[in-house]
Amino acid sequence: MIPAAYAVLNVAAASHNLQKVREYAPHAKIMAVIKANAYGHGVLRLAGALSNADGFAVARVDEGVRLRRAGVQKRIAVLEGFTCAEELDELVVHGLDAVVHSFAQLAIFEAYTERDKIAVWLKLDTGMNRLGFKPAELQAVYARLMQCSMIKQPINLMTHLANADADAKHDTMTLKQLALFNDTLATLPLDAGNERSIANSAGILAWSQAITDWVRPGIMLYGISPFAESTGAELGLKPIMSLHSRLIAVKPIVKGDTVGYGGGWLCEQDTMLGVVAIGYADGYPRYARVGTPVLVNGQRVPLIGRVSMDMITVDLGSQPTAKAGDAVTLWGEDLPVEEIALCANTIPYTLVCGVTQRVRQIEAMQE
């Protein structure tokens, strides 16, 4: 028996999307970003589906260790690096690449006596102001890293774009970041062996100048657009995840009735109300506004009233024959998650990452 709320994962779409990345960045190696349980899609499932990637990236050490324990042998970069010697040990033992972004990490390296080598990604902060060394610091840091016998040579270099999803006509940040990255690297004694990485999904899709030795796509691999103004389908991508539930009650409401907590929705004309078994405890966004589209039997109906923990309510006025048990889709191929994100004043990343344990994950049948 399928539980009321479930997500269908179309694993075949992952290879399609990976192929699209290759079309956008034909000469680059692909580090598939599968942090945060592969953006809520199931990390081991996606590591398998993306086995043609050249490497993987995760955010945290434990995420990398989990992949190794599951037998994943590909190169894995840990984007947040490590914060203590114990974490560095874990990286070394499991053969994970460390991102090096702070003087505290540098000090740990210099005090470390482990003989096994580790590959590193030296991170330059070109304006994101999150992780990374400042341009003025890079030369000295690079020289110190070259002195650490445990660090595999050559050292790789990376940065992260803050505004790659912004409208290129009005935003100068990305060009500034690219120039700063290239100018700063020009001061280091690098050669072709030092691999570079800049582009996330938005960088790959909108900034061909950001495509270097390695690209780091995340959201586009899941078939989702990084841009607020487009959908994955419009970019030639296929969404992997769709979220489903069913109607559990259908009843008439009359003019003057209110619906849901706070009585925030007032019925202005007699209609049929549908109650759907999905709520914020499943990861459906609490702030989805009235009118957010929901598919009932494949047809769009509007959300009414507030999203509650286990249920939402919809106006079935356009679907007089809908009944309890009927199929409901909250997002998926026919209802882009990007559109739902806009209705909930958020980004699709938070929606797919936010699907909770209560939602059963089911893999789509492969053709």
Ligand X SMILES: *Cc1c(COP(=O)(O)O)cnc(C)c1O
For strand 156-158 and strand 299-304, is the pairing parallel, antiparallel, or unpaired?
A: unpaired
Tokens 């050292």: give the residue: 155
Angstrom CA distances, 3 to 45, 240, 244, 347, 362, stand at 20, 20, 10, 27, 11
- H-run or E-run covering 46: helix 43-49
DSSP codes, 66-121: HHHHTT--SEEEETT--SSHHHHHHHHHTT-EEEE--HHHHHHHHT----S-B-EE
| Window of 60-68, 81-89, 104-112, 211-219 that interacts with ligand X by CB under 6 A | 211-219
The residue within the footprint of ligand X, chosen from 81, 135, 217, 239 (CB under 6 A), is: 217
Nearest to 260 by CA among 298, 314, 327: 314
Interior CA angle at 203 toward 44 and 14, to 5°?
Answer: 30
Q: x/- binding map, residues 273-312, to ligand X, per CB under 6 A?
A: ----------------------------------------
35, 123, 238, 280: the active-site residue = 35
Nearer to ligand X, 35 or 244 (CB): 35
In the complex with ligand X, the residue whose CB is nearer, 158 or 275, is: 158
- Residue at token pair 């006596």: 113
**Window of 113-121, 196-204, 318-326, 353-361 that interacts with ligand X by CB under 6 A:** 196-204
CA distance 348 to 356: 15
In whole angstroms, how close is the CB of 99 to ligand X at the nearest point? 8
Member of 40, 42, 226, 283 binding ligand X (CB under 6 A): 226
- Residues forming a β-bridge with 296: 299, 328
Q: Is 160 in the site for ligand X (CB under 6 A)?
A: yes
A 10 A CB-CB count for 176 gives 14
351 counts as binding ligand X under rule CB under 6 A: no
Q: Is 176 known to be catalytic?
A: no
79 sits near ligand X (criterion: CB under 6 A): yes
Residue 297 falls in which region: left (phi positive, over 0), alpha (psi -120 to 50) or beta: left
Q: Under the criterion CB under 6 A, does residue 18 sit at the interface with ligand X?
A: no
Cβ at position 139, least distance to ligand X in Å: 22
201 binds ligand X (CB under 6 A): yes
Check residue 177 for interaction with ligand X (CB under 6 A).
no
**Interaction mask 27-66, ligand X, x per CB under 6 A:** ------x-x-------------------------------
- The answer to whether 138 and 173 have CB atoms below 8 angstroms apart is no
Tokens representing residue 20 in the block? 């699209």
Q: Which two tokens stand for residue 166?
A: 């912004």
Are 337 and 294 in contact by the 8 Å Cβ rule? The answer is no
Rounded least distance, CB 85 to ligand X, Å: 23
Among 200, 225, 245, 313, binds ligand X (CB under 6 A): 200
The count of chain residues that interact with ligand X, using the rule CB under 6 A, is 12
Q: Give the residue with the Cβ less far from ligand X, 17 or 245.
A: 17
Stretch that binds ligand X, among 197-205, 256-264, 288-296, 322-330 (CB under 6 A): 197-205
Q: Can 35 be counted among the known catalytic residues?
A: yes
Considering the complex, what minimum distance in angstroms separates the CB of residue 124 from ligand X?
Answer: 12
Per CB under 6 A, the list member of 218, 232, 239, 283 interacting with ligand X is: 218
Q: Does 219 bind ligand X (CB under 6 A)?
A: yes
Residue 191: how many CB atoms within 10 A of its CB? 6
**Vertex 197: Cα angle to 228 and 224 (nearest 5):** 25
Say whether 343 sits in a helix, a strand or coil. Answer: helix
**81 touches ligand X (CB under 6 A):** no
Name the minimum Å distance from CB 35 to ligand X: 6
The region of 68-76, 210-218, 307-315, 334-342 touching ligand X under the rule CB under 6 A is 210-218
Q: How far is the CB of 37 from ligand X (least distance, A)?
A: 13
Residues that bind ligand X (CB under 6 A): 33, 35, 79, 160, 200-202, 216-219, 226
Which amino acids are annotated catalytic?
35, 261
